[in-house]
Every structure is written in C-alpha cells, then in structure tokens.
Amino acid sequence: MGVGRVLFTADQIARRVAELAAEIRRNGPDGPLTVIGILHGAAVFVNDLLKHLGGETSAEFIEASSYGAGTVSSGRVTLKGCGRVDLAGRDVLIVDDIADTGRTLAAVRQAVGAMGPRSVRTCVLLDKPSRRQIGVAIDYRGFQVPDAFIVGYGLDYAGRCRDLPHIARLDEPTPSPRERSNS
Ligand code: 5GP
Ligand code: MG
C-alpha cells in the first residue's frame, strides 16, 4: 500500500490553519481558551493551531479509540485522560484531525459538556461528510475530503506517514476499519 495523490500541500495547510485560527478568535472568546486535542492524529494540527491562536490559550490532550465490529467503522468510543482536566467554566475548543463517522467527536463533546464548561466549540482539520453516522456540530473545518483513507500531517496508517508535511490519500484499496489505527 503506497501513498497516493497529494490532496493538500504543506503551504496550503499552513495557510488554512492560520485562517482557521483567525476565524476561531473572531468568533470569540478573546480571552482564555482551552484547546482539547484528540491524540494522536490531532497533535500536529493542534501544535500549529496554537501558534496562531494567541491570547491565553492552553492545550490538553486526551486519547480516544474506537472498537470496530466487523466491517462497521466504529462502535464504542473509549476516552482516556479526561479526568485530568478541569473544564468547569472554561471556553473549550475540541480539536481533532478528521471527522469520519462523527462518533469520536460526539463522544468527546459529550464528555466535555458534562464537565461544566462555559462554552464548547469543535474544530477539525478534515471533514469526510459522506461517512457521517452521527450528527455532531462542527464549528470549524479546514478542508472537506473524499471518502478515502487520508494520511500525513499527523494522520497515520498503521503508525506510518504521520511525518509527511502534506496530506495525501492512500492508494486503493481503502483499508478496513480494523486496519485503521484510529488515533
Ligand atoms: P470517527 O469517530 O469520526 O469515525 O473517526 C475519527 C477518528 O478516526 C479520527 O480521529 C482519526 O483518528 C480516525 N480516522 C478517520 N478517518 C481517517 C482517515 O482517513 N485517515 C486516518 N489516518 N485516520 C482516520
Ligand atoms: Mg483521531
């Protein structure tokens, strides 16, 4: 399985990340913002986003993993690390690399919402709307992508390709959900 067509170059990503940060700040809050990054896929995106968000932005990371059942893309989402962060009264921005079925984002949104934050917004670098199974509000999205397996800029395939500076699609065939690292 090789890396296929480049969808977004490093320059395109850098420009879009800066635009997203400006959009996030334009819509408020001006002050302290708590970013919750979802490991591991969102780590690169969060780090770049932070450089542009400015203000008093802090970042925490939680781990999310989902268990596939047969060919079903994902079932239960398990979260790790939520207990460490106190989000009561905070303005929170949940950041993930990609929204696929929407289950991860929905689970994190629910967990964060239960911690009494002042506001919760969501941001994904990539959105694959054709695969959505759960309705979840996405307040900020970088790019829309087709129904293909995406790698690079933090997104991996079986631990590989996270280090690519650009975003590409894997060559066909698309890996089954069981093969996805889903992190
Ligand atoms: P969802 O819960 O929306 O189905 O899936 C979200 C998670 O699955 C993402 O955080 C990401 O870790 C993983 N994922 C979904 N689609 C892709 C993809 O095309 N490429 C990679 N590398 N990971 C993906
Ligand atoms: Mg992920």
- Phi and psi angles of residue 93, each rounded to the nearest 5 degrees, phi first: -120, 115
Angle at the Cα of 90 from the Cα atoms of 35 and 138, rounded to 5 degrees: 50
Residue-level pLDDT, tens digit, the chain, 183 residues: 677 899 999 999 999 999 999 999 999 888 899 999 999 999 999 999 999 998 889 999 999 987 654 334 556 888 888 878 899 999 999 999 999 999 999 999 999 999 999 999 999 999 999 999 999 999 999 999 999 999 999 999 999 999 999 999 987 654 555 555 555
- Phi and psi angles of residue 34, each rounded to the nearest 5 degrees, phi first: -110, 115
Q: How far apart are the CA of 103 and the centre of ligand 1, in A? A: 10
d(CA 49, CA 141): 12
What is the number of the ligand closest to the CA of 105?
1
CA count, 13 A, side-chain hemisphere, 75: 7
- The reported pTM is 0.90
For ligand 1, is residue 183 a contact (CB within 6 Å)? yes
**Contact residues for 58 (Cβ-Cβ < 8 A; gap 6+):** 32, 33, 34, 35
Best probe residue, ligand 1, of 40, 46, 97, 128 (max atoms within 8 Å of C-beta): 97
| 86 is known as an active-site residue | no
Task: Identify the architecture of domain 11-146 in CATH.
Answer: 3-Layer(aba) Sandwich (3.40)
